[in-house]
């Protein structure tokens, strides 16, 4: 038989072992809770950074829908339509107008043209000095992206015309804005550092759209679209095919079309 002392030692040992197991389990739970807290805080920070990146690109309703649906921060392949707009001879203008007035002219121009873009489903991706890069078809899908982009371009033309009338009444120089539109496949996603993220698109489509905008000067037109955009337009659009031209970065000449008008009405920007 076990002596009382031995039995007491056995009970004490069992109690110590049980307490040790309990402490280990408790430590594991605390560690797990700590890790969950860290993960939750990181997820919250990631979400905030993601929202900030999109807020600079798209309106709140689009941001909420995209985040709800889920977005790949590593990038995704998608088809978009890219619009570039630029002011002709802006550098020369900047040499004849004082800086304060120049900024006021630019702000009015951006207000008019960017409103035209967003009103027709596009998003402003970048301001490039006096230029604008807009995207249609990202981050949300848009089956009518090229149509919307061309209508936006026509609306921008009218908005600049009205803005030039206002500038003329103030005795200020008018603006000559040229627009290029191209469609194709890009990699779209959130890029940048943890504290400074932005949603953007990357690919040859972007460079080609910029080249097409540059061709407007050679052809003497203000709105130029690529052959990839042309099929989206119906007979209401007055377009004229132009001779193929070589552009930087392309081995073959590209075919473009001047958009001269629209037979009908579309929603105007307020």
pLDDT tens digits, one per residue of 45-77? 444 444 444 455 555 555 555 556 555 556 788
* Rounded distance between C-alpha atoms, residue 214 and residue 224, angstroms: 9
Mean pLDDT of the chain: 80
* Rounded distance between C-alpha atoms, residue 78 and residue 9, angstroms: 72
What are the angstrom distances between the C-alpha of 159 and each of 48, 108, 163?
35, 10, 6
- Residue 34's pLDDT is what? 54
* Rounded distance between C-alpha atoms, residue 206 and residue 58, angstroms: 19
* Rounded distance between C-alpha atoms, residue 83 and residue 77, angstroms: 18
The structure tokens listed for 234 are 């119906």
| pTM of this structure | 0.74
Q: Is 184 helix (H, G, I), strand (E, B) or coil?
A: strand
Question: Which of the two residues, 71 and 258, has the higher pLDDT score?
Answer: 258
Is 33 a residue whose pLDDT tops 80?
no
Q: Is the dihedral of CA 163, 166, 168, 173 positive or negative?
A: negative
Q: State the average pLDDT over residues 144-165.
A: 96
- Residue 54's pLDDT is what? 47
CA angle 118, 171, 113 (to 5 degrees): 5
The structure tokens listed for 151 are 């209508």
- Residue 181's pLDDT is what? 98
* Rounded distance between C-alpha atoms, residue 91 and residue 87, angstroms: 9
Q: State the average pLDDT over residues 142-147.
A: 95
The structure tokens listed for 38 are 């860290």
Please state the φ and ψ torsions of residue 28, each to the nearest 5 degrees.
-65, -40
Question: Which of the two residues, 174 and 63, has the higher pLDDT score?
Answer: 174
Provide the 10 A C-beta neighbour count for residue 182.
29
Q: State the average pLDDT over residues 226-249.
A: 94
pLDDT level of residue 176 (50, 70, 90 thresholds)? very high
Question: Which of the two residues, 230 and 73, has the higher pLDDT score?
Answer: 230
- Residue 190's pLDDT is what? 73
Cα Rg of the chain (Å, integer): 29
- Residue 67's pLDDT is what? 54
Which contiguous run of DSSP H or E holds residue 19? helix 4-55
- Residue listed under structure tokens 């039995």: 7
Question: Which of the two residues, 159 and 16, has the higher pLDDT score?
Answer: 159
pLDDT digits (tens, 9 = 90+) for 95-139: 888 888 888 999 999 999 999 998 999 988 888 888 999 999 988
Lowest mean pLDDT among 37-46, 124-133, 173-182: 37-46
Q: State the average pLDDT over residues 159-164.
A: 96
pLDDT level of residue 189 (50, 70, 90 thresholds)? confident
% of the chain beyond a pLDDT of 90: 46
């Amino acid at each position: 038989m076990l002596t009382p002392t031995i039995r007491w030692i056995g009970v004490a040992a069992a109690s110590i072992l049980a307490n040790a197991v309990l402490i280990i389990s408790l430590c594991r739970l605390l560690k797990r809770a700590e890790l969950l807290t860290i993960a939750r805080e990181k997820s919250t920070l990631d979400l905030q950074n993601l929202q900030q990146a999109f807020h600079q690109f798209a309106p709140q309703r689009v941001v909420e829908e995209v985040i709800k649906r889920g977005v790949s921060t590593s990038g995704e392949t998608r088809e978009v339509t890219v619009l570039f707009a630029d002011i002709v001879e802006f550098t020369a203008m900047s040499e004849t107008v004082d800086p304060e007035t120049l900024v006021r002219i630019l702000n009015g121009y951006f207000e008019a043209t960017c409103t035209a873009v967003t009103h027709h489903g596009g998003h402003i991706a970048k301001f490039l000095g006096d230029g604008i890069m807009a995207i249609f078809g990202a981050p949300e899908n848009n089956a009518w992206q090229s149509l919307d982009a061309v209508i936006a371009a026509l609306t921008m033309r009218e908005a600049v015309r009205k803005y030039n009338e206002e500038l003329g009444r103030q005795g200020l120089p008018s603006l000559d804005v040229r627009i290029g539109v191209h469609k194709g496949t890009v990699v779209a996603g959130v890029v940048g550092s943890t504290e400074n993220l932005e949603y953007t698109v990357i690919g040859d489509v972007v460079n080609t759209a910029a080249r097409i905008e540059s061709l407007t000067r050679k052809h003497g037109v203000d709105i130029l679209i690529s052959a990839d955009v042309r099929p989206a337009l119906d007979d209401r659009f007055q377009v004229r095919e132009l001779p193929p031209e070589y552009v930087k970065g392309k081995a073959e000449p590209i075919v473009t079309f001047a958009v001269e008008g629209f037979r009908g009405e579309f929603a105007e920007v307020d």
